[in-house]
Amino acid sequence: EVVLTQSPATLSLSPGEGATLSCRASETVSTYLAWYQQKPGQAPRLLIYDASNRATGIPARFSGRGSGTDFTLTISSLEPEDFAVYYCQQRTKWPPAFGQGTRLEIK
């Protein structure tokens, strides 16, 4: 079973700053990795699929990169609405698995 480890657990930044979130897989998942954003009381929303493809309607300030075991989600300039919890998810190996999340909070 693939284990996804996200770091840091919590990231404290100010609006306008850039953010880099990491997701590391316990074995290679090729590029079949997605990123989700979840705000309180809401369902997860897909941001990035297959490592680097923005989902429909996702602003260009969100970007993803990586392959194999190491992946990053970058938010170029934080907007107030970007402060949320972010999860990665792999779909290469059964069962599909999620990371434990990174909380992006306002500094």
Q: Which residues contact other proteins (rule: CB under 8 A)? A: 34, 36, 42-46, 49, 55, 87, 89, 91, 94-98, 100-101
- CA distances to 25, 34, 64, 87, 103 from 72, rounded to whole Å, are 12, 10, 6, 11, 15
Q: How far is the CB of 21 from other proteins (least distance, A)?
A: 16
State the Cα–Cα distance between residues 66 and 106, nearest whole angstrom.
Answer: 26
Q: Which is nearer to other proteins, 16 or 95 (CB)?
A: 95
State the Cα–Cα distance between residues 27 and 9, nearest whole angstrom.
Answer: 21
Q: How far is the CB of 100 from other proteins (least distance, A)?
A: 5
Q: Which is nearer to other proteins, 19 or 33 (CB)?
A: 33
Q: How far is the CB of 43 from other proteins (least distance, A)?
A: 4
Within 10 angstroms of residue 50's Cβ, the number of other Cβ atoms is 13
